[in-house]
Amino acid sequence: MSQTDTLPRQDDLPPSFTSQDLVTDQDVRWCPGCGDYSILKQVQKVLPEFGLKKEEIVFVSGIGCSSRFPYYMNTYGMHSIHGRAAAIATGLKITRPELSVWVISGDGDSLSIGGNHTIHLLRKNPDLNLLIFNNQIYGLTKGQFSPTSPQGKVTKSSPMGSVEHPFNPLALALGADASFIARSIDRDPAHLQAMIRRSHAHKGTSLLEVYQNCNVFNDGAFFTFTDRATKSDSVVVLEHGQPLLFGAERRKGIRMDGGGTPKIVDLDADGYAESDLWIHDEKDLFKASLLARFFDNPTEPGALPRPIGVFYAVERPCLEAMVHRQLTYAREKFGEGNLDKLIEGDSTWVIR
């Protein structure tokens, strides 16, 4: 049984609202067949499990297809301006730590125009959830390459192929000292639900990258990872404490050789036991860093499988908790602020 399945429910009480309660009266305007539908559905499905009240939940987004998300969630919501959702959410979370804050963003929104806010969000680590819908394309502006589009990508704005090297979002996030990074795929609902649960459960900023198919401008960008014929050989599902196994029969594995290089081995042909394989450890930054670099072109022969699951999850103090601890400390040390005393200052004189 996988570790994500055994994660306890967040609350013993029955949910105070249902998935249906989270549906708004707005028509969903994503293109038919868009991967965003699945993500919306999975979020609506698991959110009632968390023991939250509906009024305590806020979805904040920037601009882009993904950022229409809050309009379809019957919670509090802010659709904002391009790239800034992370900063808006930080201000909200610092001042209202009790709220459950979710940032919904895309690859252009959070890694291009909002890239600065993304790295600083991860560094500061407020307890909120960042979902990046990565479709490797600009959809709302009708098909330009994005900072995650592979080099050579032919788009409207790169007719001879993009000359730009793409970001590896999770490697970038680890560089910013993210305390939680995970990846899932729109077409794997059960896994996506599990990852949303893990994101919510994490204390600190949780970054969940979701591979999302844009069936209009970048159809099939992740088909290798989702097609029945190819996915078992090109995806490795990370489970804490479990060996890195993949392949249709789960007889292929990843082994770290003596030089610290990951290698694909065939348990049967190469004569390895599962215990010889790389055992996934979410707390191990070194391993997580290597896993984040499993970024080969999946169609190249010998490509390492693309990991999905929780790469890294450690606890470190949350921004808003530290901010409020200082407020409490200041009140204890200096007493509740007295405006008259503040204004008066140390040095006054009287004119009669």
Q: Return residues touching another protein (CB under 8 A).
A: 24, 26, 53-58, 60, 63, 70-71, 73-81, 84, 87-96, 98-99, 116-117, 120, 323, 326-327, 329-331, 333-337, 339-340, 342-345, 347-352
DSSP, residue by residue, 102-115:
EEEEEHHIIIIITH
Burial class for 316, CB neighbours closer than 10 Å (0-12, 13-18, 19+): exposed
Beta carbon of residue 8, minimum distance to another protein (angstroms, whole number): 26
Beta carbon of residue 196, minimum distance to another protein (angstroms, whole number): 20
Contact 23, 72 (CB under 8 A): yes
The residues facing 206 across adjacent strands are 129, 180
| C-beta of 12 vs 98, nearer to another protein | 98
Beta carbon of residue 116, minimum distance to another protein (angstroms, whole number): 6
| C-beta of 300 vs 336, nearer to another protein | 336
- For 48, 72, 92, 133, 207, the CA distances from 19, given in Å and listed in that order, are 6, 12, 25, 21, 23
Dihedral angle computed from the Cα positions of residues 74, 116, 313 and 10, in that order, rounded to the nearest 10 degrees: -20
Record the tokens describing residue 343, joined without a space: 């204004």
| C-beta of 46 vs 60, nearer to another protein | 60
| C-beta of 22 vs 277, nearer to another protein | 22
| C-beta of 40 vs 267, nearer to another protein | 40
| C-beta of 25 vs 257, nearer to another protein | 25
Indicate the helix (H) or strand (E) that contains 133: strand 129-134
Beta carbon of residue 203, minimum distance to another protein (angstroms, whole number): 20
Beta carbon of residue 80, minimum distance to another protein (angstroms, whole number): 6
DSSP, residue by residue, 166-226:
PP-HHHHHHHTT-SEEEEEETT-HHHHHHHHHHHHHSSS-EEEEEE--BTTTBTTTTHHHH
| C-beta of 185 vs 319, nearer to another protein | 319
Query: Alpha carbon 22 to chain centroid distance?
Result: 21
CA distance 11 to 32: 35
Beta carbon of residue 249, minimum distance to another protein (angstroms, whole number): 47
Beta carbon of residue 24, minimum distance to another protein (angstroms, whole number): 7
Record the tokens describing residue 188, joined without a space: 């794997």
